[in-house]
Structure 1
Amino acid sequence: MNSEKPLTNERILLTGTAVTKKITSYIQELGGQVEHYPLIQTTELQQKEDEQLLRRSMNFDWLIFTSQHAVEAFAAKMVRFDKQATAWSVRIAAVGDQTEQALVAAGFSVHFKPTRFSADTMVEEMNTVITTDEQCLFIRGSLAKNTLVDGLHCHVETWTIYETIESIKYAAAMLEAIQAKSNCTIVFASPSAVRVFERTIRPKIKWSQLHIAAIGHITEKALATAGAQQIITPTVYTMQAVIDEIVLRKDR
């Protein structure tokens, strides 16, 4: 194996909503090829009360974001109603690095981030810094679970700000790519993408024929439930970490 280009002749198939230039460049620097077959889409939810809800969010003690998509939808509403981040004096909680980066890009400072990028860890660690009389607003997507709502010991309200939609638009192309070529690893970042893959692609190919990687233990669990084996899962829930783990597995 070329130690400088450990992913030479390897294809990394990404199934999320977007592929950043940073991660594309990183894979290419390692000698790999990036192919993007999004199996889900996200769309900002708009309603007539949005401006009122945006103003109301300024009155909470904490705003909680567990997805960069939530930040992007929130930022879109800020632009629409001509609001700047300086109008908020609340504290901000972000589940991980990508969510934090999106918040910083929108003009916010992040006051809390868990040591492990998961809702379970966020509940455990955030409960050590909040008080029971604080008011928290969880800004979430349509498929978000109630882990934070049920687990945090402050008062938590929710605002569903974007919708996750399963997409089969690229499923046929992805199947063709898997069948036509070798040396590919499929990266899943959400259980929703796993469900689309299981329904549209997996019936035509065996799990044993695939190299699979997951970002996050919930996505890993969804893959295991669907029958995937030897799932590559980094301890840090980021795209770069999963690429690094793929490289490590190749070295073993």
Structure 2
Amino acid sequence: MPEEQPLQSETVIFTGTLKSVDVFDLVKQYGGEPFSFPLIQVGEIEDVSDESQLQQCNRYDWLIFTSQSAVRSFHSKMERYGVTAEAISSKIAAVGTQTAGALEKIGFQVEFIPTIFSADVFVEQFKPEGSCMLNVLFLRGTLAGSIIREELPFRVEEWTVYETVAKPDSIISIVELLKKRKSCTLLFASPSAVHVFEEGAVPIVGWEGYTIGAIGHVTAKALLEAGAAVDVTPQTYTLKDLVDALARRKEEIQ
């Protein structure tokens, strides 16, 4: 438990969907008050072809997952049609330890994780033997970028298993907090959340007057392109590391 409380009187707003309350507890241990107002919501896409798609998974040498949302949606389909992890012989690649952990919880063994949890680093480092002859399946969401499909040097097919939509009610709640609270921090974990905030909240509250934190260089780039100053970015792309980095920054400027 942190001994110091550098986030004393700080309102810390998470704009992504929290998978665990651990980061909430960490903010409180640092003295801050956490809030969660996801700017996007994720839902599984169900299709009549899902069962057939599942049966075809063994055609692929690798299945690639870049988010826990993809894992949850894929697992939902597995349960719906009675498919177990043992029935899928493909090797598994994951972007990030949390995504890997979600896969391991449902019975998969993850055989590749990039050193930096980002799709652009993934395509640079993912070089399994026989790459030119491989067939891989990328389990994606509706807003996923094209980098995996376009930059991996072998045949890549995609299966869109979940959709991402904006949550206008969260924008209203965040704007109210930013207006009322004296010291606020806004934490972003995806470019999608940045775009939603830019369109719905920035015309009202702007980008100044609060601290901004980002997980990952892609999210940080989206913020910079939107006109925001990125105050905090952790070296390791997890929410826990982002909160730790925020606490260190607040301690330095006190």
TM exceeds 0.5? yes
Cα distance in structure 2, aligned partners of 1:241 and 1:99:
16
TM-fit CA distance, 1:50: 0.2
SS at match of 1:187: strand
TM-fit CA distance, 1:59: 2.2
TM-score by length of 2: 0.94
Cα distance in structure 1, aligned partners of 2:124 and 2:195:
28
Deviations 1:106-127 (A, max 9, x none): 1111000000011111011102
Counterpart in the other structure of 2:5: 5
Q: Report % sequence identity.
A: 41
Judge conservation of contact 1:19–1:36 (CA < 8 Å) in 2. Answer: no
Deviations 1:77-97 (A, max 9, x none): 011111111111211000001
Stretches of structure 1 lacking an aligned partner (at least 5 in a row): none
RMSD: 1.5
Counterpart in the other structure of 1:189: 189
Work out the number of aligned pairs and report it. Answer: 251
SS at match of 1:63: strand
Judge conservation of contact 2:12–2:33 (CA < 8 Å) in 1. Answer: yes
Judge conservation of contact 2:214–2:230 (CA < 8 Å) in 1. Answer: no
SS at match of 1:41: strand
TM-fit CA distance, 1:144: 0.8
Cα distance in structure 2, aligned partners of 1:78 and 1:250:
45
Cα distance in structure 2, aligned partners of 1:168 and 1:230:
23
One-letter amino acid matched to 1:55: Q
1:131–1:19 CA distance, 2 compared to 1 (3 A): closer
TM-fit CA distance, 1:17: 2.3
TM-score by length of 1: 0.95
Judge conservation of contact 1:220–1:231 (CA < 8 Å) in 2. Answer: no
Counterpart in the other structure of 1:173: 173
Deviations 1:124-147 (A, max 9, x none): 110255521111101111111111
One-letter amino acid matched to 1:136: V
Judge conservation of contact 1:130–1:154 (CA < 8 Å) in 2. Answer: no
Counterpart in the other structure of 1:111: 111
Judge conservation of contact 1:14–1:37 (CA < 8 Å) in 2. Answer: yes
TM-fit CA distance, 1:3: 4.7
1:129–1:5 CA distance, 2 compared to 1 (3 A): farther
